[in-house]
């Protein structure tokens, strides 16, 4: 359909991480804020999905706001307001054999990370980005128990990568230093890595090794699954 034409083109280019979902308490507020920032968002779109909760049929309801590709800072963003969070964030659905508890952040390969600071400030507010050597890191306020990003229109100045969710922009030289031996599968700028928080690195490693998943251990605090074994997206497992 015309609605998913962009997604089909993305799959032809190699796939990987398509978008980052930003949770919000109000799709209308996000739409107004993004409009004021000149991001030309689509109007809020309401939809629902059938779900089974404790053996009963329910309808999970959402309102989303999409930002067009013309204002995409390499990675796509959309905002999602959960009207029925009780049908989405279920404790029994948050227990995984690998011990994953949530998303820590996303890393984006960019030839010139600093180039994207003005665009990112239109999403998250002035001062949202900090320099980390040649990298640019945007810290996003979050609901830790949900393991998602939360967009409120502005990000606290005090936010740091180690105290909330982050989006890191880094060039290929920085990538090679942080992830030695991990070769991205796509050329050019692209979202390259998803970082996940786990309860125990040892338990996570044991499960992945038992299942024959290739692992790299660049240091004692991280496990890396190369993109060739994770749908063209590098996975990083950390305890914090």
Q: What is the pLDDT of residues 78-136, one digit of tens each?
A: 999 999 999 999 989 989 999 999 999 999 999 999 999 999 999 998 899 999 999 99
Under the banding of pLDDT at 50, 70 and 90, the label for residue 152 is very low
CATH topology of domain 100-238: 2,3-Dihydroxybiphenyl 1,2-Dioxygenase; domain 1 (3.10.180)
- Residue 18 near residue 10 (C-beta atoms within 8 A): yes
Average pLDDT, integer, range 58-66: 97
Map out the domains of the chain as residue ranges: 2-93, 100-238
* Predicted confidence (pLDDT) per residue in 172-226, tens digit: 999 999 999 999 988 899 999 999 999 999 999 999 999 999 999 999 999 999 9
69 pLDDT more than 60: yes
What is the token pair recorded at 239? 């305890």
| Whole-number Å distance between alpha carbons of 116 and 133 | 15
Which range is least confidently modeled, 144-148, 170-174, 231-235? 144-148
| Whole-number Å distance between alpha carbons of 112 and 96 | 37
Under the banding of pLDDT at 50, 70 and 90, the label for residue 15 is confident
Which residues are paired to 66 by β-bridges?
78
């Amino acid at each position: 359909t015309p609605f998913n034409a962009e997604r089909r083109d993305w799959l032809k280019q190699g796939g990987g991480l398509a978008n980052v979902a930003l949770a919000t308490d109000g799709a209308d507020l996000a739409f107004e804020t993004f409009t004021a920032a000149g991001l030309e968002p689509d109007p809020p779109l309401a939809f629902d999905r059938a779900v089974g909760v404790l053996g009963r049929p329910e309808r999970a309801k959402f309102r989303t706001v999409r930002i067009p590709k013309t204002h995409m800072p390499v990675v796509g963003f959309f905002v999602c307001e959960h009207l029925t969070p009780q049908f989405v964030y279920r404790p029994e659905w948050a227990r995984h054999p690998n011990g994953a508890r949530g998303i820590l952040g996303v890393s984006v390969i960019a030839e010139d990370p600093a180039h994207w600071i003005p665009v990112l400030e239109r999403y998250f507010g002035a001062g949202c980005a900090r320099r980390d050597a040649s990298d640019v890191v945007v810290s996003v306020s979050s609901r830790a128990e949900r393991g998602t990003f939360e967009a409120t229109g502005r990000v606290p100045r005090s936010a740091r990568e180690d105290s909330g969710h982050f989006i890191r922009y880094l060039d290929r030289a920085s990538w090679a230093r942080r992830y030695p031996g991990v070769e991205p599968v796509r050329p050019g700028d692209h979202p390259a890595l998803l970082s996940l928080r786990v309860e125990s690195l040892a338990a996570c490693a044991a499960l992945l090794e038992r299942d024959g998943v290739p692992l790299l251990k660049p240091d004692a605090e991280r496990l890396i699954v190369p993109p060739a074994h994770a749908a063209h997206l590098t996975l990083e497992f950390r305890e914090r």
